Amino acid sequence: VQYAAYVTVGGITSVIKLMFAGLFFLFFVRFGIGRQLLVRIDASSFTMTFFGQGYSKGLATDKSKPNIRICTQVKGPEAGYVATPIAMVQAALTLLSDTSNLPKTGGVFTPGAAFSRTKLIDRLNHRGIEFSVISSSEV
């Protein structure tokens, strides 16, 4: 498995806006009235886009290149205090109620491997954490 994380900023204008936002935030947290205003901001959300490559059937045994590309997206409410407990509780309920679809043998699993055959994604979609496939194509 190869993994790389990237953060992109769309040009010098976006860099300047980001710096201004950082300075604005720094100014607000230094004063009590600013902290009170920041606490009232509760309408934040997140969107994450994932790009992946792989093989259409199982593992490649020869030295062939991946033949499938996929782009997926996850959207949800504020990540720290809203989405995290939703995901944690739904994962726990999945462990309790969907045991027949969990791996039977093995060691330590990533969440993707452990929950791949369960209804966790459906559970999360019904509670405001939306998973979607943007595009998928064979190469």
Digitized pLDDT (tens) for each residue of the chain, 139 residues in all: 667 777 777 888 988 998 998 898 888 888 888 888 777 776 789 999 999 988 877 666 677 788 889 999 999 998 888 999 999 999 999 999 999 999 999 889 999 899 999 999 999 999 999 999 999 888 7
What does pTM read for this prediction? 0.67
127 and 104 co-located in one domain: yes
Compute the distance between CA of residue 127 and CA of residue 130 in angstroms, rounded to an integer. 8
Domain span at 82: 44-138
Cβ-contact 75, 45 below 8 angstroms: yes
Q: ∠ at Cα 49 (42, 71), nearest 5°?
A: 150
Q: What is the pLDDT of residue 56?
A: 79
Q: What is the pLDDT of residue 29?
A: 85
8 and 28 co-located in one domain: yes
85 and 130 co-located in one domain: yes
Compute the distance between CA of residue 119 and CA of residue 95 in angstroms, rounded to an integer. 10
55 and 27 co-located in one domain: no
Give the burial string for 113-126 (b: 16+ CB within 10 Å, else e). ebbeebbbbebbee
Give the burial string for 31-46 (b: 16+ CB within 10 Å, else e). eeeeeeeeeeeeeeee
Give the burial string for 62-88 (b: 16+ CB within 10 Å, else e). eeeeeeeeeeeebebbeeeebbeebbe
87 and 29 co-located in one domain: no
54 and 117 co-located in one domain: yes
